[in-house]
Amino acid sequence: MSAVSTTFTTRQVAFRGGTVKVVEAGQGPTVGYLHGMVGLPAGELQPMLAELAADHRVIAPCLPGFTGSPTRRACGSCPTGSSPCPSWSICAASPAHRWWPPRSGRWSPSSWPVRPEAFSHLVLLAPMGLWDAEDPVADAFGTTMTEQRALLTADPAATARFWDDDPAVTDAAEKIELGVSRYLTRTSAASLVWPIPEHGFAERAHLVRTPTSLVWGTADRLVPPSYADRFGAVLPQVAGRYLVNEAGHLVDWDRPVEVAAIVRTALG
Amino acid sequence: MPYPDLPGDFPDRYRSVWVDIDPALYDPAVGHRVYNEYIDQLEYAASVGFDGVGINEHHSNAYGLMPSPNLIASTLARSTSDAAIVVLGDSVALYNPPIRVAEEMAMLDGISGGRLVAGFPVGSPMDTVFAYGTNPATLRERYHEGMELIQQAWTRDDVFAFNGRYNKLRYVNCWPRPVQKPHPPIWIPGGGSVDTWDYCAENDLVYCYLSYFGYKAGLATMRGFWNKMAELGKPQNPFQGAFAQFVGVADSEKEAYELYREPAEYFFNSCLHVYAGFADPPGYKTPNTVRAGVEGMVERAAREATARSEAKAKPKASAPAASQAMPFETMVEKGYVIIGSPDQVIEKLTEVGTSMNVGHLLTLAHFGNMDNELVRHNTELLARKVLPEVQPLFENEWEDRWWPKPLPTAQRAEPAR
C-alpha cells in the first residue's frame, strides 16, 4: 500500500473542563491512534496516519497538554502516583502508542482496557509501563533537547516538524508561542513518565483482554527492544510481535510505511 | 558548603557535579572535617558582627553538602546568640507533608528565641526533579500548596483540615508555634523565574536572588522584580530585596588576587560543572518564564560548563576564545567575585546595594575550596572593616519589615555550657 492521504480535519472536543484536539482523516474501517512523546504537531498529518488514512478512517486525539490540546492535565499527572481506576492508570503507565479500531463507534482514550468489547485489536508501539533495573528504560528527560531528540528516533530528522521552527512562521510573537507550545508538549510527555515510567502496569495488565500486537524498533535507545518480551509475559492475549529495522523509539515516525503495514496486518 | 577535594581534572573526567556525581569521590573523613569547619565558620561570622548566618538545601552533589539545612540551623540556634538564622531554605515541595517544614522551622524559631528567617525556594531542578524525583510538571503546584499549608499552620488559631490536591490532612495542628508573630519573615530564594518575582511582589515576601554570576549579571533580574513591584503600585523598599555575592577582602588588591584565585576557579570550574541535561527539565520553568526568554542561573552555569568542556575537547586553534575556562581576572571584571582592599570592597558593595536596590546582602565569604584559615581571615576583614560602612545603607530611609523580631534579650534562654 503506497497511497498516502494528506487531507485531514481537526476539531476541539470537550474534555475534563477544557478541550482536546482531535485529528481525523481518511475513510474506511476506523482506527484510533494515541500519540507518543512529540504529540501531534501542527501542520502536516503525522506520517503513519497519512499512510493509514489511505484506506482507513483514522481518529487521533491529542492528549491533554500536548500541542493543540489546552486542557492542562495529562492523565498521568496524578499527584499521588496512584490511580483511581484501572483504565486511568494504564493510560498513565503507557503514554506511548496504542491502536484500536472501535467496534461500537464510541471510544474513549481511557476505556480500552476495561471495555474490550469496544476494540477489536491493540497495537502497542514500544510502550512504556514496565521496568527492569538490570535493563532500564533510558531517561528521556534528564537530557539536553538535542540528546532527547536523538533518543527518540533513529533519524533525528524524522520528527523535525516537532523540534524545528516552522520556516513559514516569521512573526516573532508567533515563534515564541510555538516555542512555548513545544515546551508544554515536552512537559506533558515528561509528566506521564516521571521519574520512572512504571506505575503498576504489571499488576493491571491482566485487564487488557483485547488481542494485542507489539511493535518495536530495533534501534530503540529509549525502551530496549527486550521489553517486548516483558510486555509479552504480562499481557494476556499477545497476537503478534514485530521488529522494525533501523527504527528508534518513535517507530512510526522513523518507518511510517512499514509500521502502517504492520497495523494493517494486525488488524486483519 | 562545597566538597573541597574534587580531583583537579574533575570537569574533564566527570559529567556533572550534581545528581550523578560518582559516590566514590566522597571521603567521609573529609566530610567530617569540613562539616565541623563550616559550622565553626558560621559561628565565627556570627561572633564578629554579621547580622545573620545563612544556609541552604541541596542534594546529591559536591556543590553544597547540606541536604538538611535545618540540622545545621539547629546547632547555630544554640551556639549563636544574636545573629539571625537565615535558612534559605527548605524546598517545600520535597517534604511530605510540608507541615514538617512548619514544625521544624517553628522549632528553630523557638530554640533561637525568634531569630529565624524562613526561606522557601522552589529548589533547583537538580535537587527537586532529579535527586528527589518530583514531577517537574507539578513541582510548582506542590510548592505553592505547601506554602499555603505552612502559613496557615503558623497563623491559624484553630485545628483545621487541609484539603489540598497534594496534601490531605484531617488535622493540622502545628506544635510548637513560632516565636515570631504572625510568623518568621519569609524570604523566597530564586534563580531567575519570572513567576518567583511575581509571587514575592504579590505576597509581600522578600525576593532573594541567589546568583552565581555577581551583581552585574544580576541587575536585569532584580530590575524585573522591582518592575513588577512598580506595576503593582508597591513601594520600592530595598529590604524586600536580597542578593548573594561572592566577596574576598585582603589588605591590598594584589593580595586579594593571590588569595582568592584558586577558590574562585575551583568554584566556577568544578562546583558549577553541571550537566546541561539536568538544568532545564520540561515543566520546571513556567510558561511565563519560557515566554520571557529568561535563562535561569542553573541553565547558564550548565551552558558555560558545556562550552568549557567542548572547548577542551576541540583542537586549540578551533576552540572559540569565549568558550575557554574563564580566568579569574574575568570573573572579577564581570563582577562574579568582588575582591580587593576593604575600601575597594566597600565601594563595590555599596554599588551592589544601590544599583540593585537590595537591603539584604548575602556576602559569601567562603567559596570553592577556600581553606579554613582564609575563610576566617576574609570573614574578619569583612566584619571589621567593610560591614560597618555598608550596613547603614537604606536604614534611615526604609523600615526593614522582613528581619527577625526576637524575644527581648532578658527573656531568651542562655544555653548551659
pLDDT of residue A138: 96
ipTM of the complex: 0.87
Nearest-angstrom CA–CA distance, B35 and B2: 10
pTM: 0.90
Across the interface, which of B19, B136, B165 has its CB nearest the CB of A190? B136
d(CA B16, CA B23): 12
Smallest Cα distance from A213 to chain B, Å: 31
Q: Nearest CA to A219 among A249, A259, A261, A242?
A: A249
A124's enclosing H/E stretch is strand A122-125
CA distance B277 to chain A (A): 4
Closest C-alpha to A38, from A156, A127, A162: A162
Chain A contact set for B276 (CB, 8 A): 144
Q: Let me know the angle formed at the C-alpha of B267 by B266 and B272, rounded to the nearest 5 degrees.
A: 120
**Which pLDDT does position B177 carry in this prediction?**
97
Going by C-alpha positions, the residue among A79, A101, A102 that lies closest to residue A92 is: A79
Question: DSSP per residue over B132-193, as a string?
Answer: S---HHHHHHHHHHHHHHHHHHHH-SS-EEEE-SS-EEEEE--SSPPSSSS---EEEEESS-
User: pLDDT tens for residues A86-134?
Assistant: 222 222 223 333 444 443 333 333 445 556 666 788 899 999 999 999 9
* pLDDT in the model for residue A171: 93
Note whether B183 and B155 are within 8 A (CB). yes
Residues of B in contact with A65 (CB under 8 A): 137
pLDDT (tens digit per residue) in A197-242 = 988 889 888 888 888 999 999 999 999 999 999 999 999 999 999 9
Task: Quote the pLDDT of residue A110.
Answer: 41
Between positions 23 and 42 of A, the ones with CB within 8 A of B are none
State whether B165 and A79 contact (CB < 8 Å): yes
Hey, of A183, A188, A191, A196, which one would you mutate to test binding to chain B, going by the most B CBs within 10 A of its CB?
A183
How far off is chain A from B290, nearest CA to CA, in Å? 6
Q: Do B133 and A179 touch (CB under 8 A)?
A: no
- What pLDDT does residue A117 have? 67
Q: Any idea what DSSP says for residue A242?
A: E
Q: What is the pLDDT of residue A204?
A: 86
The sign of the torsion formed by the CA atoms of B6, B10, B11, B16 equals negative
* Mean pLDDT (whole number) for A176-197: 91
Residue A210 in contact with residue A100, Cβ under 8 Å? Answer: yes
End-to-end CA distance of chain B: 27
Quote the pLDDT of residue A72. Answer: 62
pLDDT (tens, 9 = 90+) of chain B, 417 residues, equals: 999 999 999 999 999 999 999 999 999 999 999 999 999 999 999 999 999 999 999 999 999 999 999 999 999 999 999 999 999 989 999 999 999 999 999 999 999 999 999 999 999 999 999 999 999 999 999 999 999 999 999 999 999 999 999 999 999 999 999 999 999 999 999 987 888 999 999 999 999 999 889 998 899 999 999 999 999 999 999 999 999 999 999 999 999 999 999 999 999 989 999 999 999 999 999 988 899 887 887 888 888 888 887 777 766 555 444 445 788 999 999 999 999 999 999 999 999 999 999 999 999 999 999 999 999 999 999 999 999 999 999 999 999 999 999 999 999 998 887
Neighboring chain B residues of A191 at a CB cutoff of 8 Å? 135-138, 283
Q: Are B282 and A144 inside 8 Å of each other by CB?
A: no
Query: pLDDT value at position A71?
Result: 64
Q: Residue B189: which of B274, B115, B124 has the closest Cα? A: B124
pLDDT at B115: 98
Interface contact A188, partner B, CB < 8 A: yes
Which pLDDT score is estimated for B34? 97
A180: nearest CB among B276, B283, B290: B290
Q: In this predicted model, what pLDDT tens digit does every residue of A4-46 receive, in sequence order?
A: 767 899 999 888 788 889 999 999 998 989 899 999 998 889 9
How far, in Å, CA of B135 to CA of B142, rounded?
Answer: 10
